[in-house]
Amino acid sequence: MTPRRLKTVSLLAGVLLPALMLLAWTQPWFMVELGAVTAEPVPAGGDVAGPALPALALAGLALVAAMAIAGTLFRVVLAAVQTAIGFGGVIVASAAIANPVGAVSRLVTDLTGVSGESSLRELVTAISPTPWPWLAMVSAALLAALGILNLVTTRRWPGASRKYERSAPATVRGAASDWDALSEGNDPTEQGEQGSASR
C-alpha cells in the first residue's frame, strides 16, 4: 500500500469508528424490567449507561482533523492519544456490560426514587442488553488498534502540500526592496509608476 493510500485509509477509519461509537451511544443499551413499577420494559440508552462515550468519540473525530495536517512528530503524539481514546471507550462500554444494574441505576432511581445498588438489584427483575453496547465496545477496540497501527506507520505518511511555498520568497524579497527604498528616501510607488509610464 502506498503511503498516500495508507494515510487516506487511516483517516477514513479514524472518522468511521468514532462515528459508530456516537451512533451506538444514541441507542438503547439495556431493556430494564422493574416488576410492579412498570408494566413494560424500560429502555436505558447510552446516555444513561455510557455517559462518557460521546466526549471520547468527539475527541477522536477532532483528532483526525488535526492528524490530517500535522507534521510527523505531532502525528505520533496524536496516534498515541487516539489509542488512549479507544481504550477509554472500551472501558466505558465493557463496564456497562459487566454491571448493567449499576449502569442503569440513575434511570431506575429517577423512576422509583430508590437509590443504593443493593436496593436497585431487588427492584430490577430482569435486564437484557441490546447489541449497541457491544458495537460501542468493538468500535472503540478497533479505534485503539488503529491508533497502535498509526503509531507504527504514520512516519510513512506524505506531508502537507507545499505548492504555495515557492511564491513566498519572492513576496518577501519584494517587501524588503520596498523597505530599503524607503530607508534611502525614495518612494517605491513612484518607481512603479515610472516603469508603467515607460511601457
Q: Across all residues in the chain, what is the average pLDDT?
A: 83
Pair (118, 187) in one structural domain: no
- State whether the Cα torsion 134-50-93-143 is positive or negative: positive
Pair (57, 143) in one structural domain: yes
Pair (98, 175) in one structural domain: no
Residue 74 domain-assigned (yes or no):
yes
Residue 161 domain-assigned (yes or no):
no
pLDDT tens for 85-118 read: 999 999 999 999 999 888 888 888 877 777 776 7
Instruction: Kindly indicate the confidence band of residue 80, based on its pLDDT and cuts at 50, 70 and 90.
Output: very high
- 70 and 48 Cβ atoms separated by less than 8 Å: no
Pair (14, 33) in one structural domain: yes
pLDDT at 167: 44
More confident site: 156 or 169: 156
Pair (85, 129) in one structural domain: yes
Instruction: Kindly indicate the confidence band of residue 158, based on its pLDDT and cuts at 50, 70 and 90.
Output: confident
Pair (129, 69) in one structural domain: yes
pLDDT tens for 16-57 read: 999 999 999 999 999 988 876 667 888 999 999 999 999 999
Pair (147, 185) in one structural domain: no
Which stretch of 43-57, 141-155, 157-171 has the lowest confidence by average pLDDT?
157-171
Residue 128 domain-assigned (yes or no):
yes
Q: For residue 40, what is its C-alpha cell?
A: 413494560
Closest to 190 (Cα-Cα) out of 181, 107, 175, 76: 181
Closest to 94 (Cα-Cα) out of 129, 122, 121: 129
Residue 102 domain-assigned (yes or no):
yes
pLDDT at 10: 93
Pair (57, 124) in one structural domain: yes
User: Into how many domains does the chain fold?
Assistant: 2
More confident site: 177 or 165: 177
Classify strands 42-45 and 126-129 as parallel, antiparallel or unpaired. Answer: unpaired
Pair (134, 177) in one structural domain: no
Residue 59 domain-assigned (yes or no):
yes
The residues, any chain, with a CB within 8 Å of residue 80's CB and separated by 6 or more, are 147, 151
Pair (34, 74) in one structural domain: yes
- pLDDT at residue 83 above 80? yes
Pair (22, 109) in one structural domain: yes
Q: In terms of residue numbers, what domain contains 175?
A: 167-198
Residue 162 domain-assigned (yes or no):
no
Question: How wide is the angle at C-alpha 142 spanned by C-alphas 100 and 11, nearest 5°?
Answer: 135
Closest to 110 (Cα-Cα) out of 24, 45, 52: 45
- pLDDT at residue 164 above 60? no
Pair (25, 104) in one structural domain: yes
